[in-house]
Structure 1
Amino acid sequence: MHTIWKGSISFGLVNIPIKLHAATEDKDISLRTLHKECHSPIKYEKVCPVCKKEVGKDDIVRAYEYTKGKFVVLEDEELAQLKKENEDKAVEIIDFVKITEIDPIYFNRSYYMSPNEGGSKAYSLLRQALETSGKVGLAKIIIRSKESLAVIRVLDQTLLMETIHYPDEVRQTEDVPNIPSGENVVKKELDTAIMLIDQLTTEFVPDKYHDEYRTALMELIESKKTGEKVVSAKQPKQAASNVTDLMAALQASIDRTKPAGKQTKKTSTRKKAAPRKKEA
């Protein structure tokens, strides 16, 4: 597993040399853009709109736009020095908290932590201390020129670090438009909604879920590579739904998700024909 960062993490006087490895990977399928006429990959050039000419890497500087059209230019040496001063510091666990106190909206990216040379014993100590206490460590770390808060916890005997957003990076719920304040929910509708939730409740098994779009896209790509003619099966037309109210939608959802053989018997609305009178 590729190492993306080396350093140390400390709590109290205990110092643990560690390596950081990405815990997740992006499996999105990347598509190139080609010239329709000759199928050559398109190049995106950096062009100055004032000088009307292409600029190279050595002609580019980085800057902060503090107001429209006004910039503070930052030299590469200044940024490199600032980065070194902070990255040389050990990652220090500043607090221990319960993970249930951290809302999932704060979590960002996950990294596995492995002990570097001479760090196995201290690594095991922190791992066992976290497991026994039921707490997670809260630390600060700089990765790729960005300082982040991080949660350190145990997953399958491995220390896992998850970077989390700072509070000012999380937008406030008060800014979300058109949120209803206090709608009166009918008890029957609520009971039916809870019944639907109970019916769809299951144990979380990650392997059960997969990216259907990515699978279909790869199948399309593979079929075109081998020269097969790609055809799509026509889908049968769905009957128009007459569900127009919330209660009917909930009931329809429950009926649809019930296991086979347990469908609710619907009461017939057709009137029984009256018995025929015997002719005299």
Structure 2
Amino acid sequence: MRSIWNGNISFGLVSIPIKMYPATEDHSVSFRQIHTADGGRVRYRKVCELEDKQVDANEIGKAYEDADGALIPITDEDLAALPLPTTRALEIEAFVNASEIDPLQMGDAYYLGANGTAAAKPYALLREALKRSEKVAITKYAHRGRERLGMLRVVGDAIAMHRLLWPDEVREPSGVAPKEKVTVKPAELDLADTLMATLGEVDLSELHDEYHEALEALVAAKVSGATPTAEPGERPTGAQVVDLMAALKDSVRSAKEARGEPAGEKATVTELKAPAKKAAAKKTTAKKAAAKKKAATKKTAAKKTAAKKTAAKKTTAKKTAAKKQPRKRGA
């Protein structure tokens, strides 16, 4: 494996000579541009605008273009002389928990190997310190004309580095989420949980690039002069109004069939229980309602009793008045 950068890891007063190697590789099939009329290769040539002629790679340098369009040549020696400690070193700034790193900041991955016999001991020291602390190291370094952030972690017996974007390079997700107010029902969430549990976990090593395989088969067929017979993939359709519950249930059944489980039974949906606070609030409301109803009943009964008493008093008064009146003569 060929190194792409040499320098040092600066760990306090400890300096660890290292070499940087790419940790990943690209397996995608590359295409060349051709002239469709005759199949001729289309190439890009680097041409000097002043002389109008093609130049070789060893004749090409760097320049900074200012606001007026003037080009200011910058040499590799100029960059190497920058007063930065990160020019030829990975400066460890801090040790943090890996959970503190936003995955959106993660970029390319590299392996850092010890450069020479003398680097073996300090390299192992940093590796074991990272292991025991269960933390990652945040580092700054200069690479390809700019200062960058990196995250060091242990992979097997090696130290790996992930390039990190600066925080201000990560865009906010404004305008991405649906603007419409959407309510997700508890039953829908339960079915989604069931579907997640049915799909289960996966061994990433078992996944493979089916597009790459189909593309290789297509190229092989073209080389042999055969006509490709593969059916085209389904085109994505536009947004459709669907029965979400039915779609979730069908998804659960399909997932169970794929795993060889019986899929005829209905998906089990667990009813969500109300939180303790809500339940207590409901009980309190019910008690208040019962108390109000009881009070209203008592009040109505009291009114009826008072009315009866009043009517009885009036009847008694009438009878008493009638007795007190003198009888008419001759009656």
TM-score range, shorter chain: 0.7 to 0.9
Structure 1 match to 2:136: 136
Task: Provide structure 1 residue ranges, at least 5 long, that are not aligned to the other structure.
Answer: 237-241, 267-280
- The code of the aligned residue for 1:100 comes to S
Q: 1:66-145 counterparts in 2 under 5 A?
A: 66=67, 70-77=68-75, 80-85=77-82, 86=84, 88-117=87-116, 118-145=118-145
Distance, in Å, in 2 between the alignment partners of 1:154 and 1:61 is: 36
Is the 8 Å Cα contact of residues 64 and 74 (structure 2) preserved in structure 1? Answer: no
- The code of the aligned residue for 2:24 comes to T
Shift of 1:139: 0.3
Structure 2 match to 1:29: 29
Q: Highest Rg: 1 or 2?
A: 2
Alignment partner for residue 215 of structure 2, among 210, 214, 217?
217
1:10 aligns with 2:7: no
* Partner-residue secondary structure (3-state), 1:244: coil
Structure 1 match to 2:42: 42
Shift of 1:212: 1.0
Counterparts in 2 of 1:80 and 1:30: CA distance versus 1, 3 Å:
farther
- The code of the aligned residue for 1:38 comes to D
1:186 aligns with 2:185: yes
Is the 8 Å Cα contact of residues 139 and 151 (structure 1) preserved in structure 2? Answer: yes
- The code of the aligned residue for 1:81 comes to D
1:246 aligns with 2:244: yes
Show CA shifts across 1:224-270 (max 9, x none): 2233343235899xxxxx9821111111111110133411247xxxx
- The code of the aligned residue for 1:225 comes to V
* Partner-residue secondary structure (3-state), 1:119: helix
Distance, in Å, in 2 between the alignment partners of 1:233 and 1:191 is: 37
Q: 1:143-182 counterparts in 2 under 5 A?
A: 143-173=143-173, 175-180=174-179
Runs of 4+, deviation exceeding 4 Å? 45-49, 58-61, 233-236
Counterparts in 2 of 1:250 and 1:158: CA distance versus 1, 3 Å:
same
Distance, in Å, in 1 between the alignment partners of 2:3 and 2:177 is: 46
Counterparts in 2 of 1:25 and 1:167: CA distance versus 1, 3 Å:
same
Distance, in Å, in 2 between the alignment partners of 1:81 and 1:135 is: 36
Distance, in Å, in 2 between the alignment partners of 1:45 and 1:213 is: 32
Counterparts in 2 of 1:196 and 1:36: CA distance versus 1, 3 Å:
same
Distance, in Å, in 1 between the alignment partners of 2:132 and 2:261 is: 47
Shift of 1:91: 1.4
Distance, in Å, in 2 between the alignment partners of 1:48 and 1:120 is: 47
Distance, in Å, in 2 between the alignment partners of 1:59 and 1:265 is: 69
Distance, in Å, in 2 between the alignment partners of 1:14 and 1:149 is: 20
Shift of 1:2: 1.0
Is the 8 Å Cα contact of residues 87 and 142 (structure 2) preserved in structure 1? Answer: no
Shift of 1:146: 2.6
Query: How many residues are treated as equivalent by the alignment?
Result: 253
Counterparts in 2 of 1:261 and 1:166: CA distance versus 1, 3 Å:
closer
Q: Give me the CA root mean square deviation.
A: 2.8
Is the 8 Å Cα contact of residues 61 and 73 (structure 1) preserved in structure 2? Answer: no
Structure 2 match to 1:276: none
Q: Which has the higher helix share?
A: 2
Shift of 1:71: 2.4
Shift of 1:161: 0.5
Is the 8 Å Cα contact of residues 6 and 88 (structure 2) preserved in structure 1? Answer: no
Distance, in Å, in 1 between the alignment partners of 2:81 and 2:36 is: 46
Distance, in Å, in 1 between the alignment partners of 2:30 and 2:63 is: 28
Structure 2 match to 1:199: 198
* Partner-residue secondary structure (3-state), 1:256: helix
Shift of 1:148: 1.1
* Partner-residue secondary structure (3-state), 1:113: strand
Shift of 1:61: 6.8
Distance, in Å, in 2 between the alignment partners of 1:38 and 1:92 is: 54
Distance, in Å, in 2 between the alignment partners of 1:234 and 1:75 is: 52
Structure 2 match to 1:271: none
Counterparts in 2 of 1:59 and 1:194: CA distance versus 1, 3 Å:
closer
Counterparts in 2 of 1:12 and 1:59: CA distance versus 1, 3 Å:
closer
Is the 8 Å Cα contact of residues 46 and 54 (structure 1) preserved in structure 2? Answer: no
Distance, in Å, in 2 between the alignment partners of 1:94 and 1:102 is: 14
Counterparts in 2 of 1:216 and 1:74: CA distance versus 1, 3 Å:
same
Distance, in Å, in 2 between the alignment partners of 1:217 and 1:119 is: 45
Structure 1 match to 2:262: 262
Shift of 1:88: 4.0
Counterparts in 2 of 1:165 and 1:235: CA distance versus 1, 3 Å:
closer
